[in-house]
Amino acid sequence: MSNNTDISKSWNANFKTFLLSLILFSSFYVNPQNKGEDKFSSKGIYRIIVDGDQIFNISVATKKTETISLTSLSDGEYGNDYKVVSEVKGNLLFVKLKRVSIIDTPDDKRNAHKLIAVTLEIIMPESLNLSVKSDIGSVEAKGKFKELNFNLTQGGCNIDGTARLATIKTIDGNIFIKTSNAVIETDSHHGLVDFPSNMFGFNVWRLTSNGGNITVKKQEK
C-alpha cells in the first residue's frame, strides 16, 4: 500500500511539473507579442503617411500637443517577426509594418493576417494631414484634422471629427462619419447612403465605397 501511495504522489508531482512547464511554454511561445513605441516632434511635419497593409486596426486621435506618438502591437504566431517602423523624410512621417526577422516565414499576403494581428495607435497634433492606405485594416479617427485621405480595401472607417478636406474610399467596408460644417459628396455603388440634407459648411468630404454603406451624422457641439 505504501508503494502505491509513493507512486501516486510521485506521479502527481511529475504531472504538476509538466502542467506548469506547459503553461509557461504556451505563454512564451504560443502567443508572442512585439510592442513598439515611438515619439517624434511635430515641428516641420506636414503629413503622416501610413502604409497600413497587414495592420488590422488603426486608431488615430488628435490632441493639443507638439509631439506625434505611435504605439503598436504585433501579436499572433509570427508576432515577433514583424514590427511597425517609422521614418521622417523632409516634412513627411512615413509609418509601415516591416518584417524584422531573418528567419523565413510565410510571405503570402493572403494568409499573413492569419499569422499576425497588428494594431497601431497614433496620437497627433491638431490640424495635420493624415493619409492611410490598407489592404485589411479598419480606421478609427477622432479629432481635428487639416486633411484626411483614406484608401481601404477590406476594412471600413469610423470618423468623429472635422477636416477641411476628407477623401475616404473603401471597397467593401462601411463608412461612418460624424462631422460638422461640411459639404458631403457620396457615392456607394452597391451600398446604402444616409446623410443629413441640411448640412452645410466650408469643409468638403468626399466619401466613396463600392459595396459598403455610407452614413453621415451631424457632430454634436
pLDDT digits (tens, 9 = 90+) for 138-168: 999 999 999 999 999 999 999 999 999 999 9
Span 49-73, average pLDDT: 96
pLDDT value at residue 81: 76
Q: How many CB atoms lie within 10 A of CB 29?
A: 10
Confirm if 114 and 68 have CB atoms less than 8 A apart: no
Identity at 60, one-letter amino acid code: V
pLDDT value at residue 25: 41
- Strand residue runs (E) in the chain: 33-41, 47-51, 57-63, 67-75, 82-89, 92-99, 117-125, 129-134, 138-152, 157-170, 175-179, 182-188, 193-194, 203-209, 214-218
* pLDDT above 80: residue 19: no
3-state secondary structure of 145: strand
* pLDDT above 60: residue 121: yes
* 3-13 as b/e: b if 16+ CB within 10 A: eeeeeeeeeee
Residues in the chain, overall count: 221
The confidence band for 82, taking pLDDT boundaries of 50, 70 and 90, is confident
Q: Phi and psi for 116 in degrees, rounded to 5? A: -135, 150
**What DSSP designation does 198 have?**
T
pTM recorded for the entire structure: 0.79
Cα 38 from Cα 69, distance rounded (Å): 6
